[in-house]
Amino acid sequence: MEEPVSKPKAWIISVGNELLIGRTINTNAAWLGRKLTFLGFEVERIVTVPDSIDDIAEEVSRALGRAKVVVTTGGLGPTYDDVTLEGVAKALGLPLEVNSEALDMVKRFYEAKGLELTEHRVKMARLPRGAKALPNPVGAAPGSLVEAGGSVVISLPGVPSEMKAMFEEHVEPYIKRLAPRLQVVECSVRIVGVPESSLAPIIEKAYKLSPRVYLKSHPEGYETGNPVVTVKALASSHTREAAESEAKKVLEYIVRGARELGASISQEGCS
Amino acid sequence: MEEPVSKPKAWIISVGNELLIGRTINTNAAWLGRKLTFLGFEVERIVTVPDSIDDIAEEVSRALGRAKVVVTTGGLGPTYDDVTLEGVAKALGLPLEVNSEALDMVKRFYEAKGLELTEHRVKMARLPRGAKALPNPVGAAPGSLVEAGGSVVISLPGVPSEMKAMFEEHVEPYIKRLAPRLQVVECSVRIVGVPESSLAPIIEKAYKLSPRVYLKSHPEGYETGNPVVTVKALASSHTREAAESEAKKVLEYIVRGARELGASISQEGCS
């Protein structure tokens, strides 16, 4: 059996009171978590903070010592409470200043609509000193990418269509080289007729079969009566075949044990 | 104008690798954020951590000094990676031990299905010493509530139906008395025809009209072309009338300013 692959860590910092008061569901973080996982990173934290410079700076500072990649979303717009880059700059000990590339982007965006640069529009071009400006193909606010202290801090807008486009076009190619070239495969089985608490000892043993497989059981519906439990195995390896075979080995052990307890298996597959 | 109401802080700690790898969208945190906000708390952080005792303990420890109420979700089940209460106990410096009330709950749940107590089922009754066991009307795992160092740490299951039922039946009545009796009202206006960056200076001035209103603009669609911006105002006060009047005062200022710039208002209302 190969050694488990050591993965660089990633943190996601979601900025916005609307997330904390539950008006908005944080779908951005889930999307980024999946992306970063399949790129070969281990997502260690998703932290949601208020639109406050100090709170943002506090969490970015914590991430700096620990994560290779830090992605913030939200708080890049023109309004008074868009303060993400102030928080990032504070954490990095850098001044915030008008970035000429970013200013060009903002200028072109508004010129195309016949609008002038105002103070609040120029604000969107103020990035931490030394940052690379990331073009926004959908909206007005550029993103920011800064390397500091062994980490890369990437700041993207909170509007999902802008965030996704910028991540795929500009962030993904950049951070790919920071992670090992891994193939990540997820396989699952759906076990019907045995409660999760009866599967627990089997899953525990299965887990020990492979340190490179992340295993999780998800009870669906009630645990007893007609219990349904989906078990998922996420495996990473240097080839897709190796990852899939590792995930399947572990799941097959569980399926065998579950069948002995009288379960039926209703679904199997890998993605 | 009344003084702004000082609200006790709340933290939400979501436990589970499935959230970090983006397999599951964290709807629990949004639901809890809204509940806690309307109960009169200020939600300061939502932190998602892996199924790891040390990571859970780290975040619960940070929350202890700062939040009056700490709610964890997930990691209470029978499997080897359900370690939330071990993390909570570690943060509180308390041993984990079988809680007789919790054991009764687990026992009754399985007895009703003709199942025996196994080691993995008893595990669900192991709570931090001194914790109050919270009945789970839907599933097997009891919740836990511990008061320590000026905070209340509440641990609920990750299955949404279980979490919600337990919060409403057992947590809400308990924590209500920790928050000021506040009425929280949210009003919104939908502004069409003016980009967010043009509204920004107006919103900034409006914000200064009332420190008790939390104001946020949400651009929908593109910022220019046919820009649509929804502005929401969340106000808290001792009566519903006072909160609503405060929110409306601020929004009316914005609507006036937006109309001067040629905007039309397509929707107004409070909830």
Q: What is the DSSP string of A155-195?
A: EE-SSHHHHHHHIIIIIHHHHGGGS---EEEEEEEEEESS-
Q: What is the pLDDT of residues A94-106, one digit of tens each?
A: 999 999 999 999 9
What pLDDT is recorded for position A225? Answer: 66
CB < 8 Å to B120, chain A: 197-198, 200-201
Q: What is the mean pLDDT of residues A190-217?
A: 89
B146/A3: higher pLDDT: B146
Q: Report the C-alpha gap between A15 and B50 in whole angstroms.
A: 20
Residue B271, judged by CB atoms within 10 A of its CB (0-12, 13-18, 19+), counts as exposed
Of the partner residues A79, A218, A234, the one whose CB lies closest to the CB of residue B21: A234
Q: Where does the pLDDT of residue A181 fall: very low under 50, low under 70, confident under 90, or very high at 90 and above? A: confident
Q: Between vectors from CA A254 to CA A253 and to CA A256, what angle results, nearest 5°? A: 65
- Spacing of C-alpha A37 from chain mean position: 7
Which tokens hold the place of A33? 């978590």
Compute and round to an integer the Cα radius of gyration of chain B.
22
What pLDDT is recorded for position A46? Answer: 98
Instruction: Kindly give the interhelix angle for B196-209 and B240-260, rounded to the nearest 10 degrees.
Output: 140
Q: Report the C-alpha gap between B147 and A169 in whole angstroms.
A: 48
Of the partner residues A49, A119, A217, the one whose CB lies closest to the CB of residue B79: A217
The number of residues in chain B equals 271
Q: Is the pLDDT of residue A5 over 70?
A: no
Give strand pairing partners of B114.
Answer: none
Q: Which helix (H) or strand (E) holds B267?
A: strand B264-270
CATH classification code of B183-270: 3.30.70.600
Domain with CATH 3.40.980.10 in chain A: 9-178
Q: DSSP class of residue A123?
A: G
> Taking the C-alpha atoms of A97, A103, A106 and A107 in order, what is their torsion angle to the nearest 10 degrees?
140
Query: In a 3-state reduction of DSSP, which class is residue B44?
Result: strand
Q: Report the C-alpha gap between A7 and B17 in whole angstroms.
A: 15
State the alpha helices, DSSP H only, in chain B.
17-20, 27-38, 53-64, 84-92, 100-111, 119-122, 160-166, 172-175, 196-209, 240-260
What pLDDT is recorded for position B1? Answer: 42
Q: Which of A247, A243, A269, A270 is nearest to A181 (CA)?
A: A243
User: Searching chain A, which residue's CA lies closest to the CA of residue B25?
Assistant: A30
What pLDDT is recorded for position A4? Answer: 56
Give strand pairing partners of A230.
Answer: A190, A218
Handedness of CA B167, B170, B175, B177 (dihedral sign): positive
Which of B:99-138 have CB within 8 Å of A? 109-110, 113, 115, 118-121, 124, 138
CB < 8 Å to A31, chain B: 22
Taking the alpha carbons at both ends of chain A, their separation in whole angstroms is 22
State the alpha helices, DSSP H only, in A45-187.
53-64, 84-92, 100-111, 119-122, 160-166, 172-175
Q: What is the mean pLDDT of residues A164-193?
A: 93
Sheet containing strand B183-192, edge to edge, reads B213-220, B228-237, B183-192, B264-270
- Which of A10-24, A208-222, A234-248, B26-40 comes out lowest in average pLDDT? A208-222
User: Searching chain A, which residue's CA lies closest to the CA of residue B220?
Assistant: A159
Q: Is the pLDDT of residue A1 over 70?
A: no
User: Searching chain A, which residue's CA lies closest to the CA of residue B111?
Assistant: A224
What pLDDT is recorded for position A219? Answer: 86
What pLDDT is recorded for position B266? Answer: 86
Q: What is the pLDDT of residues A232-254, one digit of tens each?
A: 999 988 899 999 999 999 999 99
Q: DSSP class of residue B180?
A: -
How distant, in Å, are the alpha carbons of A82, B191, B220, B250 from that of B208? 16, 20, 24, 9
Cα of B59 to nearest chain A Cα, Å: 10
Q: Report the C-alpha gap between B97 and B129 in whole angstroms.
A: 6
What pLDDT is recorded for position A222? Answer: 61
Domain with CATH 3.30.70.600 in chain A: 183-270
Residue A43 near chain B (CB below 8 Å)? yes
A260: CB partners within 8 A, 6+ apart: none
Instruction: Report pTM.
Output: 0.91
Determine, for residues A120 and B200 on separate chains, whether the beta-carbon distance falls below 8 Å.
yes
Q: Report the C-alpha gap between B116 and B109 in whole angstroms.
A: 10
Percent with pLDDT over 70 in chain A? 96
Q: Which of B126, B84, B72, B76 is nearest to B101 (CA)?
A: B126
Tell me the pLDDT of chain B (271 aa) as tens digits.
455 567 999 999 999 999 999 989 999 999 999 999 989 999 999 999 999 999 999 999 999 989 999 999 999 999 989 999 999 999 999 999 999 999 999 999 999 988 999 999 999 999 999 999 999 999 999 999 999 989 999 999 999 999 999 999 999 999 999 988 888 899 999 999 999 999 999 998 998 888 678 898 988 866 456 889 999 999 988 899 999 999 999 999 999 999 999 999 988 889 8
CATH class, A9-178 region: alpha beta
Q: Where does the pLDDT of residue A183 fall: very low under 50, low under 70, confident under 90, or very high at 90 and above? A: confident
Does residue A21 contact residue A51 with C-beta atoms inside 8 Å? Answer: no
Question: Any idea which residue has 């209460």 for tokens?
Answer: B85
Residue A149: CA atoms inside 13 Å, Cβ hemisphere, count?
Answer: 14
What pLDDT is recorded for position B267? Answer: 80
B27: CB partners within 8 A, 6+ apart: A25, B160
